[in-house]
Amino acid sequence: MSTLHDVGERDSWRCWLCDDPVDPDASVNADRGPSVDSGASSRGKAAASGAERLAHRACNTRKGKVAPVVAWSPDLLVVDPAPIVATVDRMRRKGGQEAVARCPSRADAEEAARWLLDRLSRFAPDLAVETQVTAGGGQYLLVLRER
Ligand SMILES: [Zn+2]
């Protein structure tokens, strides 16, 4: 069991679920205060990076026993975006590749690809993946695949 400080340092004081900064000096009783989320370990296969992650108290999945949710940025133009947590779980188990969103233009798809890789570099730093954008049916498909 790591201390809150260890987990915070490892996650650079950023919440693993909402991706916003966490103030290390905030009260641990405040909604936006720091807490250790062990939600990752209850999901069967613990991530290689460690099952304990830093989360805002309000974002922490431990008490509510809800599955963690990672939201796509509202700034992206994506259609039918795949649930990020479930996609990461499957790719950890099986590798391969998965279509994760459709976009109206190549620029939108490339922006979504950049955002997703950056997001995953913190959410699932152990996962070695790359993105691919393919045109088809007047849309652009964003694919995440094993590297
Ligand atoms: Zn948060």
DSSP assignments along 107-146, one per residue = HHHHHHHHHHHHHHHHH-TT--EEEEEEEETTEEEEEEEE
Instruction: Calculate how far, in angstroms, residue 15's C-alpha sits from the geometric centre of ligand 1.
Output: 5
CA 120/CA 129 separation, integer angstroms = 9
* pTM, rounded to two decimals: 0.84
User: Which amino acid does the sequence have at 23?
Assistant: D
Residue 37 has pLDDT above 80, yes or no: yes
Which residues lie at CB < 5 A from ion ligand 1?
15, 18, 56, 59
Instruction: Calculate how far, in angstroms, residue 135's C-alpha sits from the geometric centre of ligand 1.
Output: 35
**Residue 24: closest CA among 5, 11, 38, 10:** 5
At residue 40, the pLDDT reads 58
Confidence of residue 42 (pLDDT cuts 50, 70, 90): very low
Mean pLDDT of the chain: 89
Which residues make beta-bridge pairs with 142?
101, 133
Instruction: Calculate how far, in angstroms, residue 73's C-alpha sits from the geometric centre of ligand 1.
Output: 14
Which tokens go with 11? 């996650």
Instruction: Calculate how far, in angstroms, residue 60's C-alpha sits from the geometric centre of ligand 1.
Output: 7
